[in-house]
Homo-oligomer: A and B are copies of this chain.
Amino acid sequence: MSSVRVHNFSVSLDGFAAGEGQQLDAPFGHAGMRLMEWAFGTRTFRAMEIHGEPGGSVGVDEAFASAWNVDVGVEIMGRNKFGPYRGPWNDEEWKGWWGDDPVFHTPVVVLTHHSRPTLQMAGGTTFHFVDAEPSTALEQARELAGGRDVRIGGGADTIRQFLAADLIDRMHIVLVPILLGRGERLWEGFDGLEDSFDIEAVPSPSGVIHLTFTRRS
């Protein structure tokens, strides 16, 4: 069975994966881009079309960053990783935060209670809008993945749902040494999660701490 994985998911020291007040021009709300700064310097993120710059660091941040798409055949994301809008889709012309040629290059399952036709983008990304529980969404995602792994792309609420349903095999969480004070918490509940996962911590010269969670067999 293919693995279900989380990669490059940043959390502040006080546990927030996003700030308050997500908007079109502020995907992380009042947090700005502080949670992702560690990544922007890496070769992997600079090479993505959305940034499009050559070069970049090749140390431990890059080692982790570069793993995000290896053997991944599909991403599952929450609606708020696609765009800031809630409720019915009023503007289907707007095709999400990810531009005309999104970085995924695979099918992407967007979890939403509001239906919308599948969006075929350039570069191999297709957005499928799915209203389903985690286990059903995972089944659908696996059908799209062609035997490859499934990435749970976030946000925090989506990861929490898949964790609560006991569907995640491995996670790479990046602890960023900042405090946000408010926003969306990754950890709610999960008392004793360490019993189900081996947890490693690796600090980076950039200041962040890479945490890996590997499900115990």
Where the two chains meet, the residues of A that have a C-beta atom closer than 8 Å to any C-beta of B are: 13-15, 30, 175, 177-182, 187-194, 199, 201-203, 207, 209, 211
Interface of A is mostly: loop
Evaluate contact between A189 and B181: CB separation under 8 angstroms.
Answer: yes
Evaluate contact between A14 and B15: CB separation under 8 angstroms.
Answer: yes
Evaluate contact between A192 and B209: CB separation under 8 angstroms.
Answer: no
Evaluate contact between B182 and A191: CB separation under 8 angstroms.
Answer: yes
Evaluate contact between A203 and B194: CB separation under 8 angstroms.
Answer: no
Given A201-B209, A203-B201, A207-B201, also A181-B190 (CB < 8 A): yes
Q: Which residue of the partner chain B has the closest CB to A208?
A: B201
Evaluate contact between A207 and B203: CB separation under 8 angstroms.
Answer: no
Contacts of A192 in B (CB 8 A): 178-179, 181
Evaluate contact between A187 and B179: CB separation under 8 angstroms.
Answer: yes
Specify which of B30, B189, B199 is in contact with A177 (CB 8 Å cutoff).
B199
A30 to B30, CA, bound (A): 34
Q: Which 7 A-B pairs have the closest CB atoms?
A: A181-B191, A14-B187, A177-B199, A179-B193, A201-B203, A179-B190, A178-B194
Contacts of A190 in B (CB 8 A): 14, 179, 181
Closest CB of chain B to A144's CB: distance in Å? 31
Contacts of A191 in B (CB 8 A): 30, 179-182
> Known pairs A177-B194, A201-B207, A202-B203. 7 more at Cβ < 8 A?
A179-B187, A179-B191, A181-B190, A181-B191, A181-B192, A182-B189, A182-B191
Q: Which residue of the partner chain B has the closest CB to A14?
A: B187
Closest CB of chain B to A17's CB: distance in Å? 12
Given A182-B191, A191-B181, also A207-B199 (CB < 8 A): yes
Q: Which residue of the partner chain B has the closest CB to A193?
A: B179
Given A14-B15, A203-B203, also A194-B179 (CB < 8 A): yes
Contacts of A15 in B (CB 8 A): 14-15, 187
Evaluate contact between A13 and B180: CB separation under 8 angstroms.
Answer: no
Contacts of A30 in B (CB 8 A): 191
Contacts of A202 in B (CB 8 A): 203
